Chain A
């Protein structure tokens, strides 16, 4: 089968590698001069910063992405993070970290609760595995169970870090699916070599199987013949294919077949596209000589103004920074109403970092923001229309087509795996 893949982001490369390994003839077209999309390394002042993701897989070496990479035969090593910690104010009742703080392990998150609420949460941890709650936002559900605002703060920090959403924006079903996946696959891990360690390995699989990846090459149109996808147009030249996989999101994909798709005939699909809400966030990259976090996992910061969590990937792979330096990256969710005030949001994040790391020496390397057409996620978790399009033999993969329960790149891998099942059987 001849396959054209539009976009060399993680979803596109995973699909291309999987299909090339199955013996298909693959052409990948990438608009930019670099591959990897928002999942590759950007070299900056000797550091391996990233074009988007945090050099971290939410479910580490046991997750859906690691599984798919193994199936594909990509040569990557993913190291499980040792722990996740939560930074708490020193005294219960303090609103922030200014009077001091202490870190607790994630699995002791019930400790700050009253005895009564702790018992209730212990009961809920067991009962919700059998009967997951449904029909509300996460925040509504938590507030209906436990009055203590601590759990909402923790939920905001966790959802902010992992989904770039607030607990009142995400459905309780989606979060419980994620929690179930954490039981199933385990917590985060860091790929050696960062994001590029993975996308680079996928490219090797594609080229080793005879596939081609062309950068600086923009697809202008998706060809449709007899109602089915039949290839693409690049620089005025037709490239025929039996199958087209798009890694550029549903909206941009629909834009490439505007002659075929009509708002009347495909009203349902267009309604789904209009409902898509990309998520926004800010990453602040820090350089420090002494470790700021001191472990390879996530530090959640529920009592910061804006920062949701921070990681320090050089704890696993020191080569991501120059010798003697650490690379520490913070993430903060940006609410839709604040996208127009990014500078203020960044200032709050920088102020947070001063209070999270008082007395520590660090330098701000680069501040990166993501929203709208280059977002954290093209579709917020649990809201996308899946991998199918109204046109047979045209599929969408990537962070705009993840499906349920998949955090970030794990969701991308689940979407690709489902698409491969449809194609390869």
Chain B
């Protein structure tokens, strides 16, 4: 999972992440706790979470 420059830091992804793997401070950052479950991606309102193909 990669956060692109669209991110505004709204934290919506953080609230849907079941691993507590997204910290946000002005912009989201994915931590080592991420298990690549991809649940967060569709909740991003600005298409900032890129899922590896």
Binding site for B on A (CB under 8 A): 32-34, 37, 42-44, 49, 51-52, 216, 342-343, 345-346, 366-375
Contacts and interface: CB of A to CB of B under 8 A. Distances in A.
A342 B14 contact: no
Contacts, number: 59
25 contacts: A32-B43, A33-B43, A34-B43, A43-B15, A44-B15, A52-B10, A216-B42, A342-B25, A343-B25, A346-B25, A346-B26, A366-B11, A366-B14, A366-B24, A367-B24, A367-B26, A368-B10, A369-B10, A369-B26, A371-B8, A372-B8, A373-B6, A373-B8, A374-B45, A375-B8
User: Which DSSP category, helix, strand, loop or mixed, fits chain A's interface?
Assistant: mixed
Nearest to B24: A367
Nearest to B9: A369
Nearest to A368: B11
Given A342-B26, A370-B10, A32 B45 contact: yes
B9 A342 contact: yes
Nearest to A350: B25
B42 A32 contact: yes
A342 B11 CA distance: 14
Contacts of B15: 42-44, 49, 366
Determine the interface band of chain B, counting residues with CB < 8 A from chain A: 10 to 19
B31 interface: no
A313 B11 CA distance: 20
Contacts of B6: 373
A375 B8 CA distance: 8
B8 A374 contact: yes
Contacts of B9: 342, 367-370
A111 B10 CA distance: 38
B23 to A, nearest CB: 9
Given A32-B43, A32-B45, A373-B6, A343 B11 contact: no
Contact of A367 (B11, B45, B46): B11
Given A346-B25, A374-B8, 20 more contacts: A32-B42, A34-B43, A42-B11, A44-B15, A49-B11, A49-B15, A342-B25, A342-B26, A366-B15, A367-B9, A367-B25, A367-B26, A368-B10, A369-B8, A369-B10, A371-B8, A372-B8, A373-B6, A373-B46, A375-B8
- 9 closest residue pairs by CB, A with B: A342-B26, A369-B9, A42-B15, A368-B11, A44-B15, A343-B26, A374-B8, A374-B45, A366-B11
A31 to B, nearest CB: 8
Contacts of B24: 366-368
A37 B24 CA distance: 19
A372 B27 CA distance: 13
A345 B46 CA distance: 22
B43 to A, nearest CB: 6
Nearest to A366: B11
Contacts of A346: 25-26
Contacts of B4: none
Nearest to A40: B12
A44 B14 contact: yes
A51 B12 CA distance: 7
Contacts of A372: 8
Nearest to A44: B15
Interface in B19-40: 24-27
